[in-house]
Amino acid sequence: MSSSLIDIKEIGRKYVIGSETIHALKSVTLQINKGEFVALMGPSGSGKSTLMNILGCLDTPTRGEYVLNGIRVSDMTDDELAEVRNKEIGFVFQTFNLLPRSTSLDNVALPLIYAGLNKDQRFEKAQKALESVNLGNRMDHKPNELSGGQRQRVAIARALINDPSIILADEPTGNLDTKTSVEIMGLLEEIHSKGNTIILVTHEEDIAQHAHRIVRMRDGLIEDDYPNPEIKNVSPRLAALKEKGSDFESI
């Protein structure tokens, strides 16, 4: 069994639409270790959204193997995938995905209902999560009473609430202005510095430059995979990669 947090081997995903078969992913092999900060990039139709959905256990591959934190998830049922999503993955979306009539505290505490915590435990943990993203004074505010950046902070706090194995951020700055985007990426960098694993899906080069490793996709395949040369303090694994080139299998 691989020691990687994420280990996918020859993953393929095809969709049959009428008489046409679309191969969204052809054969993708990828390893991500605990504590990495990876940007997943690619143009429209490259397969990055399909790969993101598989990594996030929102979809299952047509073929290949996916092991997440030691759990084989590539052939799980929908109910089993839902449990893995709740325990292992924290999602941050471009559109925030907050409940409009619920307070920040309620939105952040929501995943803990499925984790079996009682109300007092849920709110205590949610309060700490909001304080960790500097929103301790916005707990009783609803999404329409918050700025875009504050709403994304609530979403990040919610993503962290179950202490997931990975944070999967899908275009997290797509609806934000430049200044707020920088602030949100700074927050993600801070979260990463505490040991969290982050996978960032983006089409923006400047946003991808915050990651320590960049994976580029095209036509359902990984086109390139390399450490970000702009980041000096990389993990030993990425440092070794930088010395050897882009052959991840050799590390």
Q: Which H or E run contains 119?
A: helix 119-132
Domain annotation for the chain: domains and CATH numbers: 34-60+79-250 (3.40.50.300)
Asked whether the CA dihedral 71, 93, 171, 26 is positive or negative, the reply is positive
Q: Exposed/middle/buried for 174, CB within 10 Å: 0-12, 13-18, 19+? A: middle
Residue position matching structure tokens 């899908």: 170
Q: How confident is the model at residue 232 (pLDDT cuts 50, 70, 90)?
A: low
- Whole-number pLDDT of residue 231: 79
- Note the pTM of the prediction, 2 decimals: 0.86
Q: What does pLDDT average to over the chain?
A: 88
What is the tens place of the pLDDT at every residue in 73-101?
A: 988 888 899 888 988 999 999 999 999 99
CA distances, 160 to each of 17, 89, 104 (Å) = 37, 9, 14
- Whole-number pLDDT of residue 114: 80
| Of 157, 220, 108, the residue nearest 117 (C-alpha) | 108
Q: How confident is the model at residue 35 (pLDDT cuts 50, 70, 90)?
A: very high
Average the pLDDT over each of 74-83, 122-131, 188-197 and give the range with the smallest value: 74-83
- List, as one string, the DSSP characters of 45-99: TSSHHHHHHHHTTSS--SEEEEEETTEE-TT--HHHHHHHHHHHEEEEETT----
- Whole-number pLDDT of residue 221: 96
Per DSSP, 13 falls in state E
Q: Are strands 197-201 and 166-170 parallel, antiparallel or unpaired?
A: parallel
3-class DSSP state of 215: strand
